[in-house]
Structure 1
Amino acid sequence: MKVFVAGATGAIGRQLVPRLVEAGHEVHGMTRSASKEQLLRDLGAVPVVADALDADQVAEAVGRVQPDVIVHQLTSIGPMDLRHFDRAFAMTNRLRTEGTDHLLSAGQAVGVKRFVAQSFFAAYERTGGPVKTEEDPFGPHPAKEMRETVAAIRHVEDAVLAATWTEGIVLRYGGFYGPHTSLGPDGDQTKAVRRRQFPVVGKGGGVWSFIHIGDAAEATVAAVDRGRRGVYNIVDDEPARVAEWLPTLARTLGAKEPMHVPRFVGRLLTGEVGAVMMTELRGASNAKAKRELGWSPAHPSWRQGFQGLTETDPDDARPDAAAAKGRR
């Protein structure tokens, strides 16, 4: 099939494009910057230069390619500041609202058969059991500093699932880790843990679901090939409380044990968003994705996956090598 990937040079795009090529698809990768055309060629894609926030440019690009499938992986995350979460996600929120609408409009005009879009697990209701399925609702009252971000995630999901003219698929990814992510060998979150700047807040009862960026890409290929209309949680097999995974991560990195601070101190340091994520977050189940997509993560637990954060894989460090690896 001919697959149009919007956000093809991002963390997941760099993993996804060569895997789609290896699976036999003709891949066209969209980027806003002409300077990234060679990167896309190295990954195995035909470069497409267009601004996702310009409806005419998106329509022209999609119209020229005439894809069978559109994969929406558009993000642009600024420096992370949990106290001003929506500020850091301001551009990504535009890409999830305006960008989604532009891609859907262009896709409808050419009759794409399948539309796959990125979402996130962390918006689930923060009451009830510790692990949520796709049938569970999003929480009605997100933390104040991330209301705009959750609204943008809702927009992506509602718009894609309402598109009756195509097979609309939403992938609720877990927290990414691995190459080119903030929890990569040189990522901001990894550095914060090493510097002992990532504390356990309260009892650390928030439940997180993780996914290695390579496993997320593999699941996305499966969704392109055989996904059905609806939502899939793309997470590993082991949701875990902060009080468990954060100290384990610190030990894996050879860092000191993370500090423990009361919730009110954590709220002063990280705002309401940080306090909520550390104490109230709910994890997600991957049972549906494993059952319907025929997919299982190569890193079934963050326990094994975090081991890779202590070293840099040369195949991941060089885009041309990564592409070659993907085509083998």
Structure 2
Amino acid sequence: MKIVVIGGSGHIGSFLVPRLVREGREVINVSRGTSKPYTDSPEWKQVRQVIADREQEDRDGTFGDRIAALGADVVVDLVCFTLDSAKALVSRLRGETGHLLHCGSIWRYGASMKLPLAEGSDSADEPTDEYGIQKRDIARMLKQETASGGLVTTSLHPGHIVGPGWHPVGPLGNFDPSIWQKISAGQTVQMPGSGTELMHHVHADDLAQAFAKAIERRDEAAGEDFNIVAPTALSVRGFARIAASWFGQTAQFETVGWEEFRRSTTPEHAETSWAHLSRNHCFSIEKAKSLLGYAPRYEPEQAVHESVQWLIDNKQLSLAEG
């Protein structure tokens, strides 16, 4: 089986591409060629590299032709962010490729109303940001494409992706690295809201597992969409308490209103926190477990801890001394 992975040098592909090679697949990685994978696996030596600027080629109307010319049985699209781009690829691959898998996002859902959120339910508001709207619309288009007898497609929607090599979404719902220094020092952390807001992470390797299983179980995955997250979600308070224990500390925190929180940090960090915590997301993975055999290895705190430890080991994170 020949598999083309679009954007295979990023967070997900760094784990997915080696996994597919180990399974005996012929893999072609299509990327801009500007970054190296996050994992230095020997399997990368067996991967054919194709350099492409998707944004430019989408504007030129040539990207679909480039992918179709590779003659893949399966195409995994990890870096599609607009409905127009997705439609163009589907139109070109229809009748030529056996299976297209798209990486969506849990942000296709707006703020939660009933938990856990399941695929196809009305348990969340519609998305309000452009990224989430595009991911929602792409998933709907793909489902309709397959239902109408066109290209076989599957969309997988990951939570907050975590893994070695990059900063995880932290206890306050943002990427501010200073949170780890405060927690490791036992300092008091100001938490916006009630502290009970939820975030749902997923380890990049568990997400890679889900993609590999969807490829393997094409018939079960055809025309379906899946939430791909860890078995459980973390609350702000719980996340802080667990993280403090990694450093031999007891979490010290106080809850504050959003306006006060915004005054205590940068506009960027405050907006990111609001974007994560106001959604208050917790997802069901029963559909993925049932149809794909998805079996995540990492609880969310294990996945985040691995990320934090990697940052510490590689001197990319400053902690309290002592």
TM bin (shorter chain): 0.7 to 0.9
Aligned in 2, Cα 1:31/1:241: closer, same or farther, shift over 3 Å? same
- Equivalent residue pairs, number: 288
CA drift at 1:127: 4.3
- Pair 1:160-2:162 in alignment: no
Question: How far apart are residue 276 of structure 1 and its match?
Answer: 5.3
1:223·1:293 contact (CA, 8 Å) conserved in 2?
Answer: yes
Query: Which residue of structure 1 lines up, in the alignment, with residue 8 of structure 2?
Result: 8
Q: CA deviation at 1:98?
A: 4.1
Q: Report the Cα distance in structure 1 between the residues aligned to 2:53 and 2:205, rounded to whole angstroms.
A: 26
Residues of 1 paired with 2:2 and 2:199: CA distance? 35
Alignment partner of 1:68 is 2:80:
no
Deviations 1:220-239 (A, max 9, x none): 11111112321111111112
Displacement, 1:253? 5.3
Structure 2 residue aligned with 1:213: 204
Instruction: Report the equivalent of 1:18.
Output: 18
Match of 2:92 in 1: 106
Equivalent of residue 312 in structure 1, options 294, 310, 313: 310
Per the TM alignment, residue 279 of structure 1 is displaced from its structure 2 partner at its CA by 4.6
Superposed displacement of residue 161, structure 1: 1.8
In the alignment, is the contact (CA less than 8 A) between 2:110 and 2:279 conserved in 1? no
Which position in structure 1 is the counterpart of 2:216?
Answer: 225
Offset, 1:49: 1.5
Aligned-partner SS, 1:152: helix
Aligned to 2:159: 174
DSSP 3-state at the match of 2:145? coil
Out of 134, 152, 158, the residue aligned to residue 119 of structure 2 is 134
Task: Answer with 1 or 2: which has the greater Rg.
Answer: 2
Structure number with the higher helix fraction is 1
**Secondary structure of the residue that 1:132 maps to in structure 2?**
coil
CA pair 190-125 structure 1, distance change in 2 beyond 3 A? closer
Match status 1:265 vs 2:260 = yes
The verdict on how the C-alpha distance between 1:138 and 1:180 changes in structure 2, with shifts beyond 3 A counting, is farther
AA aligned to 1:262 is G
CA distance in 2, matches of 1:34, 1:52: 13
Which ranges of structure 1 fall in alignment gaps of 5 or more residues? 76-94, 318-328
Offset of 1:281 from its aligned partner? 1.3
* Cα deviation 1:44-85 (Å, max 9, x = unaligned): 32111112121344233213211111111117xxxxxxxxxx
Choose 161-170 or 122-131, whichever is displaced more: 122-131
Deviation larger for 271-280 or 59-68: 271-280
**TM-score, normalising length: structure 2:** 0.77
| Correspondence for 2:195 among 177, 200, 204 | 204
Write the distance in 1 (CA, Å) between the matches of 2:123 and 2:49: 36
Give the deviation of 1:241 after TM superposition.
Answer: 1.8
* Identity percentage of aligned residues: 22
Q: Structure 1 residues 34 and 233 mapped into 2: Cα distance closer, same or farther (>3 Å)?
A: closer
Are the equivalent residues in 2 in contact too, given 1:5–1:71 (CA < 8 A)? yes
TM-score (norm 1): 0.76
Tell whether 2:282 aligns with 1:288: no
Amino acid at match of 1:152: Q
- Distance verdict in 2 for CA 1:272–1:47, change over 3 Å: closer
Shift of 1:183: 1.2
CA distance, structure 1, for counterparts of residue 110 and residue 8 of structure 2 = 31
RMSD: 3.2
* SS of the residue 1:4 aligns to: strand
- Distance in 2 of aligned mates of 1:208 and 1:215: 17
Give the 3-state SS of the residue equivalent to 1:111 in structure 2.
coil
Q: Write the deviation string for residues 167-214 of structure 1: whole angstroms up to 9, x where unpaired.
A: 2211111111112333199xx837242144985211122222111111
